[in-house]
Structure 1
Amino acid sequence: MRTVAVFAYDGMSPFHLSVPCLVLGERRGFPDRYDVLVCAEQPGSMRTNAGFGISVEHGLDVMDRADVVVLPSWHPGREASGVLLDAIRRAHARGATVVGLCIGAFLVAESGIAEGREVVTHWRFADDLQARHPSLKVRADVLWSDQGDLITSAGTAASLDCCLHLVRTHHGVEVAENVARDIVVAPHRSGSQAQYIPVPVPPDPADDVIEKAMVWARARLDQPVSLDEWAGAVAMSRRTFTRQFRARTGSSGQAWLLRQRLDRARLLLETTDLAVERVAAESGFGSSDALRHHFHTLLGTTPQRHRQEFYSSTSRT
């Protein structure tokens, strides 16, 4: 059980506050994994920007014992108090993971715990954050960034992706997929904010060829899939397919496919007793050596270690 402190402030968006509470705090029939506590600098009644109020019971002292501190949002022009910034710094120095969702990255930056590091925020505010904190590497081209002790995400709905990533990291793919299924969202969106920055609307948005290509590839994760074959499956040239796939998802087709294979391998390791060589074959890596290489490169672990960490708990879910 991990303690999660979610910071609330007067005038905030109730949606931003609800995301970590929904993903991490709801009870869904499997063992509780987080104790979510909403806290504020001054507990009590406060307003939201949606025309109704909320009541917060806990003060910032919750951050002093939290395993995860979530900063769901902030006002870019608002100056944070020294008390709040000190609470964030203490939590981080003690070893808590600090999560800045959406414009919460401004609080992360102001606390100083991200100096010289990478942070993500809503694309609309990325230039402002970069100007205020030149030492940071501010990204507006990804949905979230995990630096281990520091996790930041893009705006609004990307907060859901980020919180699901946190569940996936702590408890494995199967638990994260169960949560995603319960709240009816995609368990893992591979892409970037580039998809959401204003661009001309396609002539027929209902005919999403790239989505059809994704479905086609997911059904064949255990098979070799060449780019030419993949493009041909949706009657497109390789060049056109490559361009449209990147425009639609913010990543190359091969990078997206690798992530899908990796998630398939993780799920098999967590939920079956299949040998690593068989897991590699079923997820399209071909050999256990290739599987180990990608696990080490992208996840910083090994298939065996991943199974040891997640198999016993998730198999009973």
Structure 2
Amino acid sequence: MKFIRMSDNKNHFVVSSVIVMMLLSNIGVASAESVTIPGYTPELGVEQVYRSEKTAMTDMTMWFDEPAAQRTNNGYFRHSVTIASKSPESMLQEWKLSADLPPDISGTFEMNHMYRATQAAYGVEELTIAADLNGNPIDLPDKDKILANVKKAAASGPGGEPSPDSALAGIVQMLEQNPLAVIEALVPEAMYLAIAQSSEGATYDVGQSWELSQEEVVNGVVVPVKSNWRVESTDPVKQTVTLSWKQVNDPVVLAKVQLSTIEKFMISFSERMKTLTVEQLAYARTASKVREGSAVISLRNGASLEVTEIATVTTGGVKIVSNVHIFREN
């Protein structure tokens, strides 16, 4: 989901007003600090390097005993992007991808190993993304080539077709339905950086907040999403502004959309279900998704310099907490 400035009249929002009571008529009221955020205007042909730290914690204590009940994976990545071209409607981003740790980073990062396998299956070290003027991905020019690479990697069935039992067969089906899933797998940074970018400039008061009604498509069904935004602070020296957000998916609609999947998942733990209470079983049939984050935006060109977000997703009694921190290296 991309950040939508208040000047966009296609979205409805509520800005809470503050009524100031004057105690003495001769006391003046200082005006709120304001900040003008320019429209996103990236430099053409300039390579920008981003680092991203990622953590994913999966809690399945409802279904497993310790120590198998919880697992945490970490990742540390260094990718770069260049805006190759720009038109009045869109732009082309050229990403260079790597599973290698930066030279100054050491340790065990499970996500990097998994990423290397994913990158090999997709057969790409570079990815060209067509994006809108906010930087939000809208198309993959090489999607057919990437799909062919995955099909080739999965070809273990009769006639060179993917075996139905192959894990890659599921990826093939996913990419055929949604080619942009490649971006989620290989460079979600592109989506994170676009969250708070807007091609249209606007002026805000520091401390100003507003609400947006948005949507997310889950399993082909539209799920309402409420987003609360706030202008947190500015840094005159660094020429930046910090924005924050909280996005909450409608839990009732989300649970209905995923009910079939939840039921199938629970059946696979039929013996464990016998030990659960009525309250635990009811909780397992719920679903929720909450994203809380912030972005540091350049007041020079409206670009995201740093993005931090924590996403908490609960479904089928399983809780997944994902933490990502992306920052520009240069």
More helix by share: 1
The higher-RCO structure (CA 8 Å, 6+ apart) is 2
Compute the TM-score of the two structures, normalised by the length of structure 2.
0.25
Compute the TM-score of the two structures, normalised by the length of structure 1.
0.26
More strand by share: 2
